[in-house]
Amino acid sequence: MGLLDIKNVSKRFGGLKALSDVNLSIAEGTVHAIIGPNGAGKSTLLNVLVGKLIPDTGSVMFDGQSVLGRAPHEINQMGISRVFQTPEIFGDLSVLENVLIPCFARRDGPFRMHAFETVTNETEMVEMAEQMLGDVHMLEKRKMQASALSRGDKRRLEMAMCLVQQPKLLLLDEPTAGMARADTNNTIDLLKEIKATRPITMAIIEHDMHVVFSLAERITVLAQGTPLVEDIPAKIKGHPKVMEAYLGTAEV
Amino acid sequence: MFGLTKKDTLLLIVVAILTMAAPFLLNPFPSGSAMAQFNAGYPDLMQRFVIYGLFAIGFNLLFGLTGYLSFGHAAFLGVGSYSAVWMFKLLSMNVIPAIILSVIVAALFSLLIGFISLRRSGIYFSILTLAFAQMSFNLAYSVLTPITNGETGLQITLDDPRILGVSRTESGGIPVTNLFGAEMRSTYEMHVGSWLFQFNTGYYLCAVLMLLGFYLSIRIFRSPFGMMLRAVKSNQNRLRYTGLNTKPYTLAAFVISGMYAGLAGGLLACMDPLAGAERMQWTASGEVVLMTILGGAGTLLGPVLGAGFIKYFENIFSKINDTILHQWFSALPDGLEDAMVFLVHPFIGKGWSLTLGITFMLVVIFLPGGLIEGGQRIGRLFRRRTAKPAPDSAPSSTPAE
Amino acid sequence: MDAILLQVLNGLDKGSAYALIALGLTLIFGTLGVVNFAHGALFMLGAFCAVTLQKILTISFEVVDPTRLDFLGNPLKVKTPYVVSWFGEAAGNGIIAWSVPLAILFAIPVMIAIGFAMERGLIKHFYKRPHADQILVTFGLAIVLQEIIKYFFGANPIPTPAPPAFTGSFDFGVLLGFDPNVIIYPYWRLVYFAFSAVIIGCVFAFLQFTTFGMVVRAGMADRETVGLLGINIDKRFTIMFGLAAAVAGVAGVMYAPINSPNYHMGMDFLVLSFVVVVVGGMGSLPGAVLAGFLLGILESFASMNEIKSILPGIDQIIIYLVAIIILLTRPRGLMGRKGVMED
């Protein structure tokens, strides 16, 4: 039994079978990548994982509890944090506040009417957030407005916002999509650093092979809505089935 | 002090001094002088300054922080007034029970409307709140006449029971609103030379409550709760995926701002025990939107400034007529004088709404941050002139004062 | 049966006005993505086009008529409109009597010009600003427009009669085989309904059968793509705005005989029209028309005495009530499309 268990999940959109009978298990402490060509069902699977889509059949269990049909905030409170394709941050707020919000969310739960406390007096929270910003090398930018950050810094900030919650599972949805090579490498280094310093499970949905092979400990290849192969990176490289899925077969 | 930072405490103290000294500050011109028409230091107007200031502070807690634009806040002002007048009719002329009831009723009413309206966001939310307010307005005029007294408006009469008070005074008149005997309408007049300063009990009650409301709003702005509300405005999606349930946050903000509106409505009734349905009309909701935007939405001081600005100029502009204009421009040659009067005429007197509409449009177009932003820009201009031109420092996101 | 028919008929004229305003709102919203709170003011300006034309046509000169004396024995001053003196008694008075229909010819260019000016001068700069800003600035504009009208025309309603041929009522029921005197219907209301139907038909035909209309429809479906195709959107936006203003304007012109125009009529209609748009589904033209008529008729049913005795006050709130129920159960309205104004 893994941290996240996907069992017999199928999802149809009209006549299109987006996912058919997907079985996947992500073990605790691993970096698990889910790759596949366009239209393989990666985003559908992700949307199922975060409760946005309810599959026709099957179950998704996280840490012994079903995630199906839950609201985003409930899923997060279960211990799943999510990094988006384009960084989702609070643009109008300062960098420090961006990290403070997840700190409060973790301490106080989905809602608390803390209208008579003062943010700056919550030293424990502020310290925690500043520590985190230090970890991602952004402490000196803590007073900046988040929307003024560079794209790479926004990505860092978003990671910090997720990590400060100490999630059991970090979901990364194409974290390097649309990035320049240098930014991609920076993100890879950051993720490696994170992985080295704390025990965390990561699920990366990605189609940049460079990213996948430099990070993942286990890879699942998805094609036409079903997992094709699951193995360690070394064995995925050059696997005939994977080549076939990505390049198509010459003879049909 | 009071759990505020140094800067905020200073702001609160300055505002407190200004409101307490308002009878002096707003009457800078000797009565009888030509400039006396610009005085604003009489009870009726000063009461309106602080009451509408309170209304706008509350509206700003919703719109300024969460970005939800309600076009129906006048409904809460209206129910506040009605509840207060009913308290005067049934219980006593003491303002305390009236104020308490108006806040409670407004809270319940806004809880109901907020619960439904907040299921949608953006323009849909605006239209839902507008629909609710118009519905309340129409009902107050028609079926609810037994409660609201329809077009005439709800008034206190000699036949009201007033269980804890008297139906009529010994002299046979209608009793007046009071705070444990201190009549709201009583005014102490102070003559200093040719100056006249008026200190009105009702104004000071409203001013104290406004300061309390202002203090609470500072606390909310600086609290984690306020931070969450600003996050709602900035990115709801991220907030949800950060494990926070946005609905109770927005609903709480909606109810709090509804309570401010109810309090303002209650106070209006305390100053003048009369409540009419027109207080709930959507133009009244529009007015609080104008005040907040004009002053600066999302800032602490902006709404108060906006309310004061609009109420002051409404009063001044309505009083100016052509004769006064001719006096102003009398230094000009005759033809030019008439031309100037002709040009200015549409904007004064009954034309105040026109002036307000144009000012408001200009603010939305050129100064989305309102008067506060205008002040900051001017401040920056001065600093740049005195100091050497320095590169712009990194933008900071602490909400403007 | 006849009672129901009567209410349907009674609802038609208000429904027509709602439908026409909502149509314009939807056109602007769907193509330009702007929420126009000044659209009611355009309707009001249209009605005042009728008033203005009536005033222009009745500009008179005074002649002293020595043959007739007033009650004090002085010679009587007779006012004669210039139009009468130019075109002769019969034709001149005819022109004055028909000022409302004539005002359509006057209103169309005026309203298109106002629409162009509004779009070029103001709305254009708000395409990229948040919807809240658009609401606020057009709200301000609506106040300004109605105050200008109030300045020139005063605060009181100005009676603007329909041509004599269409004043009065006729027995509509007899035509349909009901008893006489059961369904009495004013002529002008029928004219208004027919007129709206024609205008709505023209707008739909324009969108359906012209290249311009095709681009507009494509733009409503997917604005970005059409922009990418290199089609000059800007010019078309301006024209669309002018068109929507003209539709609101002629709706106002023809409504003048039903309710004497006053400066705040636009705001009164605007609030309801927004509700209509929301009920119909933001961005759906057929939805706007359908919801307009539906709500107009519902409103008239709710004001039946039989219904009011069961549910007192229902006539005052029915539209809002329906809007709230629709918004909560069918968030996209009756015919709304996915992804319009959803965040």
Give the residue from chain B lying closest to C311, CA to CA. B143
Mutate to test the interface with B, among C131, C134, C144 (most CBs of B within 10 A): C144
Count structural domains, chain B.
1
Q: Provide the number of structural domains found in chain A.
A: 2
CA atoms of A104 and C289, how far apart (whole Å):
49
DSSP letter assigned to residue B345:
G
CA pair distance C225, C284, nearest whole angstrom: 19
Q: Which of A166, A184, A216 finishes a domain?
A: A166
* Cα–Cα distance measured from residue A79 to residue B132, given in angstroms and rounded to the nearest whole number: 40
Cβ within 8 Å, pair B135-C321: yes
Residue A205 and residue A234 share a domain: yes
Measure the CA–CA gap between C238 and C185, rounded to whole angstroms: 40
- Residues 6 or more apart from A248 whose CB is under 8 A from it? none
Q: Do B236 and C343 touch (CB under 8 A)?
A: yes
Of A198-202, B69-73, C2-6, least confident by mean pLDDT is C2-6
Q: Hey, are the CB atoms on B144 and C136 less than 8 Å from each other?
A: no
Residue B346 in tokens: 């549409």
Q: What is the pTM of this model?
A: 0.88
Q: Among residues of chain A, what percentage have pLDDT more than 70?
A: 97
Residue ranges making up the domain that contains A186: 1-79+169-252
B252 touches chain A (CB under 8 A): yes
ipTM over 0.85: yes
Q: Cβ contact (<8 Å) for B397 and A89?
A: no
Q: Where are the beta strands (DSSP E) in B93-177?
A: 154-155
Chains A and B make contact, 3+ CB pairs within 8 Å: yes
- In this predicted model, which residue has the larger pLDDT, B205 or C306? B205
Mutate which of B145, B361, B367 to disrupt the C interface (most C C-beta within 10 Å)? B361
Sort out which chain C residues have CB atoms less than 8 A from B293's CB and list them: 136
How confident is the model over A149-161, as a mean pLDDT?
Answer: 90
Burial class from Cβ neighbours inside 10 Å (0-12, 13-18, 19+) for residue A196 reads exposed
Q: Per-residue pLDDT tens for B15-29?
A: 999 999 998 888 888
Q: Are residues A32 and A47 in the same domain?
A: yes
Q: Which segment of A140-154, B291-305, C293-307 scores lowest on mean pLDDT? A: C293-307
- Considering the segment(s) C2-56+99-329 as one domain, its CATH architecture is Orthogonal Bundle (1.10)
- Tell me whether residue A85 is in a domain: no
Please report whether residue A86 resides in a domain: no
Residues 6+ apart with CB under 8 A from A119: A97, A100, A125, A126, B222, B223, B224, B226, B227
Q: What is the pLDDT of residues B299-339, one digit of tens each?
A: 999 999 999 999 999 888 888 877 777 777 777 787 888 88
Of B131, B143, B361, the CB nearest to C320: B131
C-alpha distances (whole Å) from C184 to each of B51, C160, C196 are 52, 22, 21
Task: Verify that A182 and A198 share a domain, yes or no.
Answer: yes
Quickly state the pLDDT bin for B396 (edges 50, 70, 90).
very low
Q: Min CA distance, B393 vs chain A (Å)? A: 10
d(CA C332, CA C128) in angstroms, rounded, equals: 23
Q: Does A180 lie in the same domain as A142?
A: no
What integer best gives the mean pLDDT of chain C? Answer: 83
- Per CB distance under 8 Å, which residues of C are interface residues toward B? 35, 122, 125, 131-133, 135-137, 139-144, 147-148, 150-151, 267, 271, 274-275, 278, 282, 312-313, 316-317, 320-321, 323-324, 327-328, 331, 341-343
Per DSSP (E only), the strands in C239-282 are none
Assess whether A106 and A211 both reside in one domain: no
Task: Using pLDDT thresholds of 50, 70 and 90, give the confidence band for residue A250.
Answer: very low
Distance from CA of B363 to the nearest CA of C (A): 9
List chain B residues with CB under 8 Å of A104: 224, 227-228
> Considering only CB atoms, which chain B residues are within 8 Å of A97?
227, 230-231, 397
pLDDT at position B224? 95
Domain layout of chain C by residue ranges: 2-56+99-329
- Report CA-CA distances (Å) from A247 to A38, A212, B202: 12, 18, 82
Are A75 and A175 found together in one domain?
Answer: yes
Residue A18 placed within a domain: yes
Its domain, for residue B134, covers 6-23+39-281
Are A59 and A74 within one domain?
A: yes
Q: For residues A196 and A221, state if they share a domain.
A: yes
Q: Do B238 and A81 touch (CB under 8 A)?
A: no
Examine the domain organization and report whether A230 and A178 are in the same domain: yes
A5-62, pLDDT tens digit by residue?
999 999 888 778 888 888 999 999 899 999 888 778 888 888 888 878 888 999 999 9
What pLDDT does residue A68 have?
A: 87
Residue C341 has pLDDT above 60, yes or no: no
Full 3-state SS string of B228-261 = HHHHHHHCHHHHHHCCCCHHHHHHHHHHHHHHHH
A38-52, A154-168, A219-233, C169-183 — which is least confidently predicted? C169-183
Given a cut of 50, whether residue C343 has pLDDT beyond it is: no
pLDDT recorded at residue B10: 93
Cα B353–Cα B358–Cα B363 angle in degrees, nearest 5: 125
pLDDT at C208: 86
Q: Could you tell me which residue, B207 or B174, shows the higher pLDDT?
A: B207
Residue of B nearest to A96 (CA): B397
Contacts of B119 (CB under 8 A, 6+ apart): C328
What proportion of chain C, given as a percentage, has pLDDT over 70? 94
Identify the pLDDT of residue A186: 86
- Does an interface of 3+ CB pairs under 8 Å exist between C and A? no
Residue C156 CA to residue C136 CA, distance in Å, equals 27
| Residue C340: per-residue pLDDT | 52
Hey, CA dihedral for B218, B223, B228, B234, is it positive or negative?
positive
Q: Does B5 touch chain A (CB under 8 A)?
A: yes
Beta-carbon contacts of residue A137 (< 8 Å; ≥ 6 apart): A156
Lowest mean pLDDT among A188-202, B27-41, C168-182: C168-182
Residue in chain A nearest B393 by alpha carbon: A144
pLDDT at A144: 94
Check CB contact under 8 Å for A148 and B398. no
Partner-chain contact C267 B346, CB within 8 Å: no
Provide the token pair at B361.
Answer: 């449009």
> Testing the interface with B: which of C265, C276, C316 to mutate, by most B Cβ within 10 A?
C316
Whether residue A241 is found in the same domain as residue A188: yes
A119 assigned to some structural domain: yes
In a domain, residue B395? The reply is: no
In chain B, residues with a C-beta closer than 8 Å to the C-beta of A111 are: 244-245, 248-249
Residue that terminates a domain, selected from A135, A166, A197:
A166
How large is the average pLDDT for residues B157-171? 84
Q: Which residue, among B136, B162, B164, B140, has the nearest Cα to B151 in the 3D structure?
A: B140
Please indicate, yes or no, if residue A35 is contained in any of the structural domains: yes
Pairing of strands B182-183, B178-179: antiparallel
Helices (DSSP H) in A1-92: which residue ranges? 42-49, 72-78
- ∠ Cα B130 B135 B141 (to 5°): 130
Which domain-ending residue is among A137, A166, A195?
A166
**A73 shares its domain with A185:** yes
What whole-number percentage of chain A has pLDDT above 90? 38
Residue A105 structure tokens: 């969310």
Looking at the fold, whether A146 and A250 belong to one and the same domain comes out as: no
Q: Which of B142, B283, B358 sits opposite C316 (nearest CB)?
A: B142
- C200-257 pLDDT, tens digit per residue, is 999 999 888 888 888 877 777 776 677 666 667 778 888 889 999 999 999 999 998 8
